[in-house]
Amino acid sequence: MIFYTCITNDYDWVPDAYYDPSCRYVCFHDGSIETQKAPWEYVLLEETEECFVRKSYHPKHLPHHYFDEGEFTVWIDASYPITKEFVEFSRELMEEFDFTIQIHPDERTLFAEFNKLCTYGFSDYSEIIEMAKLMHSRGYRGEYYNQTINCVLWRKLTPEVIKWCNTWRDWYMGGVNRDQISSSMAEYLVPECKINRIPLQINLSNSGRKKEYIQSYPITKPKNKDIVDLQNSLHQIFGFKDLVKNIIDKTVDNIPHEYGDSVKDLVVFTCVTNNYDEFPEDSYYDPDVRYVCFHDGKMDTTVGAWEYVELDLDIEDPRDFAFYVKANPHEFFPKGTHTVWIDGCFKLTKDFIENSRTSFPFSVLRHGSKFSFLDELLEGYTCAFYSRQCVMNFMERLGETDYDFKKYASPQCTIIWRTLTDEQREFDQAWYTWGGGEFNRDTIPFDVARQLTGIEPEFYDNRDDCGIELGFFNKVGRKGKHPQRGKFDQYMTANNLLKKLQPITKLNPRLYAKYDKHWFYMRHYGIID
């Protein structure tokens, strides 16, 4: 068994190593270090690569250039000591596996890793995009990325492992100056090389590094726009389907969120399932705005300037499918993105876009009828959107919280403006928790999230001020009807339901339920003639 490392540019101290006489200890170097420390054999590198980082990686990537086929090698970064326990653990691995690699504790996505390269000055935008395009041309998808930490590599030099190593080196030398992404490409391109993955075995804080990592480019504090530009470019290369629930949650910390008086970077998005909506053909599309429509494969994808993204979510109910997208924009777009949800049936206007630019970080419409809590509840109940049992289950849960029914704010969730921050994620997760499943409406759950999180949106008290003509008769693209999960005759028990709920809500139905059974919508949904 051969333990080996490499030091260039006097980057590390020669590490301490427990000596096992049955093992070899080899330290490659470029002449910048002292070569007396035992038990190491010192080998002067003959590589002419000018970049000392890429030079130091040559033995790491290509052990078969220095050792014989069939030998078992253990690469370890020179910053870490070799202990007796580590030697014994390595021997156990050698007996069972030809190739073992450690799982990175950060578990970054591909997009987070690219983002770190750019923001830390390891690579620039053009290098990243060039490599991303090349990866995509070979069929690589973002979802394939399983981040490793390559400070230790246990490899028996079999033909399959050697092929993997050659591929790793080729992609590293032709790509960015960090080797995690290129090792993932090697794993993708050489599937016959079977890799054993294990949790991290090295104490990362126990490092004897002498110098800081040398960046390829100056480090500048990234602006939110730069982050979004990079992510948008990666979106275009790899496709949105690769990105679902796999964006950059674990990217660089403390990304600045710059709202200002006017926001230029906008994403307008919607979701259409079961062919529920179609886009009005005379809508206005701003060339500086992205328009993204998620769907389930059942709609016309040729209308307008939309990017159509078919999703394969494990959600059978079309309403629940669409609500997942609506309530969870942080699963589909990078942190810091200025997003605007809009129901797909409305005609888009220039005024809508201009008004949107000043509606961040978080705004929503106020319902035109300014419903009380009970009026909102009754609209869904009398139209059979949800069952009586569903209402009781929901209300019993809600009654156990500090929710104040008298302070219902009457949101209308047709349009929602959100900048994707950690705080917004907290709100959206609460909204989804309360709005998913049987309770087949999202307005009351939205207000529950508002009250229970304490995160307050700005309200358009006059909803027409947003620049979109709203209201029932302006849903010009609506083709379907809201799904109904209750009994069609349950409207006849509405008064009884309110009495049942009074101990929970503390609301007198005569004072807080003035909207008379929502006759218009009941006719529309076929409840009454």
Give pLDDT tens digits for 463-479: 889 999 998 889 999 99
Per-residue pLDDT of 71-109, as tens digits, reads: 999 999 999 999 999 999 999 999 999 999 999 987 778
* Band (375; pLDDT cuts 50, 70, 90): very high
> Do residues 385 and 483 make contact, with C-beta atoms less than 8 angstroms apart?
yes
Per CATH, 2-107+147-198 and 257-371+410-486 having the same topology is answered yes
Q: Which amino acid is at 22?
A: S
What CATH number labels 257-371+410-486? 3.90.550
In sequence order, which residues have a C-beta less than 8 Å from that of residue 192 and are 6 or more positions away? 160, 163
Per-residue pLDDT of 143-184, as tens digits, reads: 788 889 999 999 999 999 999 999 999 999 998 888 999 999
In sequence order, which residues have a C-beta less than 8 Å from that of residue 510 and are 6 or more positions away? none
- Token readout for 205 is 């804080």
Tell me the average pLDDT across 21-48: 94
Q: Break the chain into its structural domains and give their ranges.
A: 2-107+147-198, 257-371+410-486, 372-407+487-529
* Band (125; pLDDT cuts 50, 70, 90): confident
CA 468, 471, 474, 477: dihedral to nearest 10 degrees?
Answer: 90
Topology of domain 2-107+147-198 in CATH is Spore Coat Polysaccharide Biosynthesis Protein SpsA; Chain A (3.90.550)
Q: Rounded to an integer, what distance in angstroms lies between the CA atom of residue 53 and that of residue 44?
A: 15
DSSP three-state, residue 91: helix
22-36, 114-128, 328-342, 498-512, range with the lowest pLDDT: 114-128
| Long-range contacts at 106-109 (CB < 8 A, ≥ 24 apart) | 106/147, 106/250, 107/147, 107/250, 108/147, 108/250, 108/251, 109/142, 109/145, 109/147, 109/246, 109/247, 109/248, 109/249, 109/250
pLDDT for 256: 31
> Do residues 87 and 96 make contact, with C-beta atoms less than 8 angstroms apart?
no
Per-residue pLDDT of 188-240, as tens digits, reads: 999 999 999 999 888 877 677 777 766 655 655 555 556 667 777 887 888 64
> Do residues 5 and 15 make contact, with C-beta atoms less than 8 angstroms apart?
yes
